[in-house]
Amino acid sequence: MASAQDHPNILLVMADDMGFSDLGTYGGEIETPNLDTLAASGMQFLDFHVSVACSPTRAMLMSGNDNHIAGLGAMGELLAPNQKGQPGYEGYLNDRVASMAEVFKGSGYHTYMTGKWHLGHSEGWYPYDRGFDQTFTMLVGAASHWDDMLGVYPDDDPAKYAQNGVPISALPADFYSSRSYADMLMDMIRSNRGDGKPFLGYLAFTAGHDPLHVPEPWLSKYAGAYDQGYETLRRTRWVKAKSLGIVPATAKLAPLPSFVLPWDTLSDKERAYEARSMETYAGMIEATDYHYGRVVDFLDDIDELDNTIIIFLSDNGSNPWYSENYPGAEDPEFARQFDNSYENIGHPLSNIAYGPGWAVTSASPLDRFKNTVSEGGIRVPFMMAGPGIVQGGKSDAFAYVWDVLPTLLDITGSDYPADKEQPRGRSMLPVLSGQAKAVYAEDDLVGGEVGGGKWMRQGSFKAVMIPAPYGDGVWRLFNTDIDPGEVNDLSGDMPQLLTSLMAAWEDYAEDVGVVPAE
């Protein structure tokens, strides 16, 4: 069994709906010193991919497998009638796979989780049922960051929480998500200090998912910072990302999508409201960085930091929805709970999301955002640091969220249960240790699907089909190494490659059991 002396601890930190360039180390203006330090102390990935939405990504993270194998072929809330009951569309992390917690618990680790689960809302499928020793978790996709437990739409209102497998009917009166989840995880780690066993700690922040909530001093920190509008800022981030080497110096900026209203067409009142929403979002991201930093300081104080692998990522790209876009959110009985006035943005009882203009900005210099298989939807920040990992490195190697668990198995020498569907991901350790430049060979094929969005990657090339409402359903081909903004469609120049990748996607869909919604 594992001991802390010869097995590293694991701190897995996930942000929710954070855009590719929100962090300072990826070109953003938001102050994120603790996560910037993580990037500098380990390996920063520039071409790391996830799924288009929360729960499919989390299923792959936990299992090392494709979301259709692990039970989240579609988000449980969005299952079409013909998908319900189909294998891979259970709407929860199914028992075909083992969870990361089950794997490491079996290897002698303590396993702790705080924050967002979103891989099973009913008893029997809570994180406590899937290998975590201690948990305090929000079970659903999103909710208020305060103690009121208000959901973002009627079906999840009030939001569901559980502690150690028991549903919770009330949150602590001083609850604020980022602070409270950090505090609770530190308490869990502290509870078993000195017994010689390593730990897996999964800190699944619900920030920066809407509703946009943050206390002072962060609520006022960015006052006036976004008055210039989203078009100006997305260009600023594009330039900064190029100067930092996050994207090639020749990378073009994707055009503003047609469904995003130009800033100068908005009224003064609309611009003020939009700017205030982004100010609040920026404060949430900085507050999350701060509370993550508290956990790192705690590990340092208890002399565990040097023996801890730290991973940080976002579950998908930035969210393009406004609050009223959620199913049923405009129902009068539900909506009357909230005060969405300008003065109340960021405070309790507000239910605000920042919309598509700021979403394309958070994703800049990539194209589009969450819920699409564009790079802005599935390419996210990813950093990893700890024993045996190169310090201060940047990797442009393509990697995928299902690679995280195989990497940790490789680092710790742990075994995945033989009676479960084996992980499809690859170990990133050769890249992390500086022994290799790539995780995948040039001819390897990796693809995905959620909600009808399709993509297939081979080497530098990505075939992609984005359905309505954010695309036109036409397959296109891009070299995303040199064109991460997906501006230059190569399908006319390389039709045979596009045809080959489309056929590869059909093979993938048959292999994992994709069931198109009807």
Q: What is the Cα–Cα distance from 443 to 293, expressed in whole angstroms?
A: 40
Are 449 and 466 in contact by the 8 Å Cβ rule? The answer is: no
Taken in order 480, 483, 484, 488, the sign of the CA dihedral is negative
Helix (H) or strand (E) holding 405: helix 404-412
Are 144 and 348 in contact by the 8 Å Cβ rule? The answer is: yes
Task: Tell me the backbone φ, ψ of residue 412, rounded to 5 degrees.
Answer: -95, -10
Helices (H), 245-373: 268-301, 332-335, 355-363
Active-site annotation, residues = 54, 118
Q: Which amino acid is at 69?
A: I
Please report, for residues 45, 73, 238, 346, 352, the alpha-carbon distance to residue 16 in angstroms, rounded to integers and kept in the order given: 18, 19, 22, 17, 15
What is the β-pairing status of strands 379-385 and 393-400?
Answer: unpaired
- Number of H helices and number of E strands within the chain? 14, 14
Tokens of 410: 């490789």
Contacts of 255 (CB under 8 A, 6+ apart): 487
Please report, for residues 145, 286, 472, the alpha-carbon distance to residue 219 in angstroms, rounded to integers and kept in the order given: 13, 10, 38
How would you classify residue 319: left for phi > 0, otherwise alpha for psi between -120 and 50, otherwise beta? Answer: beta
282: DSSP letter = H
What is the β-pairing status of strands 161-163 and 134-138?
Answer: antiparallel
Are 103 and 409 in contact by the 8 Å Cβ rule? The answer is: yes
Are 177 and 155 in contact by the 8 Å Cβ rule? The answer is: no
Q: Compute the half-sphere exposure of residue 68: CA atoms within 13 Å on the CB side of its CA.
A: 17
Give me the DSSP letters along 432-489. HTTS-S-SS-TT-EEEEEETTEEEEEETTEEEEE--TTTS-S-EEEEETTT-TT--S-
Give me the DSSP letters along 154-190. GGG-SPPEEETTEEES---TT--HHHHHHHHHHHHHH
Nearest to 302 by CA among 178, 185, 163, 133: 185
By the 10 Å C-beta count (0-12 exposed, 13-18 middle, 19+ buried), 348 is classed as: middle
Please report, for residues 147, 266, 321, the alpha-carbon distance to residue 270 in angstroms, rounded to integers and kept in the order given: 29, 6, 16
Q: Which amino acid is at 375?
A: E
